[in-house]
């Protein structure tokens, strides 16, 4: 696989305290790649100093995109619309994932020629027992309903090719977009690889995941299951 440019997307809602830690680490990790890269921070309806914090870092390969309507999927889609690379990665802004793991996935995806490379989180103790159980049940339901072989669908980092992005026509505007990527990749018969990563405690701020997101996620799961059964997954 020939890669000329990596585009790394960082969706961020009120993560200014985390971004000032993450972005220098991410920039340093990506400098180890054998190709050029860009980092796109998506300011997703933030009410903090996200853009000022990014500007003050003065990192030449980092730029800011804006998505004024709150929604993780919306932020990802906004970043994808700005991305110019032929290989694209997503990492969250909360410092629970190591930039070096993302860089390792980029290298592996290029070396192995796969359409989608994704994380599988280890050591999720900091998430609390309730979230761990919910995540386990989600993933079991997905594997049963959609016949998937992948684990931990919602995990990032994720790295994928532009050709996959163009074929997948991603559309989810909420947290389901991570699952949508995996479901579509497997249904298209594309090679998907997984890498176990150490999942770290959040450094700053608080998670924005709420109970309403659980019901939203279940609703999406049923909707996409119906689409899959009727052969309209990519419609």
- Structural domains present in the chain: 5-229 (3.90.550.10)
What pLDDT, on a 0 to 100 scale, did the predictor assign at position 142?
Answer: 82
Weakest mean pLDDT among 42-51, 165-174, 176-185, 197-206: 197-206
Look at residue 134 and tell me whether its pLDDT is greater than 70: no
- Entry pTM: 0.91
Q: Considering the chain, what percentage of its residues have pLDDT values greater than 70?
A: 91
Q: Which residues contact 182 (CB under 8 A, 6 or more apart)?
A: 116, 118, 148, 150, 153, 192
Q: Would you call 20 exposed, middle or buried from its count of C-beta atoms within 10 A (0-12, 13-18, 19+)?
A: middle
Task: Please give the Cα distance from 70 to 84 (Å, whole number).
Answer: 23
What pLDDT, on a 0 to 100 scale, did the predictor assign at position 104?
Answer: 97
Once rounded to an integer, what is the mean pLDDT over residues 12-19?
Answer: 97
H-state helical runs in the chain: 16-30, 50-57, 72-82, 99-112, 129-146, 162-168, 177-187, 211-229
Look at residue 210 and tell me whether its pLDDT is greater than 60: no
> Average model confidence (pLDDT) for the chain?
91
Look at residue 92 and tell me whether its pLDDT is greater than 90: yes
What pLDDT, on a 0 to 100 scale, did the predictor assign at position 51?
Answer: 97
What pLDDT, on a 0 to 100 scale, did the predictor assign at position 128?
Answer: 59
Look at residue 74 and tell me whether its pLDDT is greater than 80: yes
């Amino acid at each position: 696989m020939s890669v000329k440019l990596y585009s790394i997307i960082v969706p961020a809602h009120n993560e200014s305290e985390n971004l000032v830690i993450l972005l220098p680490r991410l920039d340093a990790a990506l400098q180890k790649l054998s190709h050029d890269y860009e980092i796109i921070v998506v300011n997703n309806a933030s009410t903090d100093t996200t853009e000022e914090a990014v500007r003050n870092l003065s990192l030449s390969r980092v730029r800011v995109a804006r998505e004024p309507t709150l929604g993780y999927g919306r932020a990802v889609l906004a970043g994808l619309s700005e991305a110019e690379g032929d290989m694209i990665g997503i990492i969250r802004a909360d410092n629970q994932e190591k930039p070096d793991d993302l860089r390792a996935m980029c290298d592996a995806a290029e070396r192995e020629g796969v359409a989608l490379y994704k994380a599988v989180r280890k050591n999720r103790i900091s998430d609390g027992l309730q979230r761990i159980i919910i995540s386990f049940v989600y993933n079991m339901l997905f594997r049963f309903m959609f016949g998937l072989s992948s684990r931990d669908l919602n995990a990032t980092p994720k790295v994928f090719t532009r050709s996959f992005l163009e074929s997948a026509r991603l559309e989810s505007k909420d947290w389901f977009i991570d699952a949508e990527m995996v479901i579509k990749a497997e249904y298209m018969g594309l090679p998907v690889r997984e890498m176990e990563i150490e999942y770290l405690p959040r450094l700053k701020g608080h998670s924005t995941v709420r109970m309403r997101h659980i019901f939203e996620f279940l609703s999406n799961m049923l909707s996409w299951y119906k689409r899959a059964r009727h052969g309209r997954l990519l419609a």
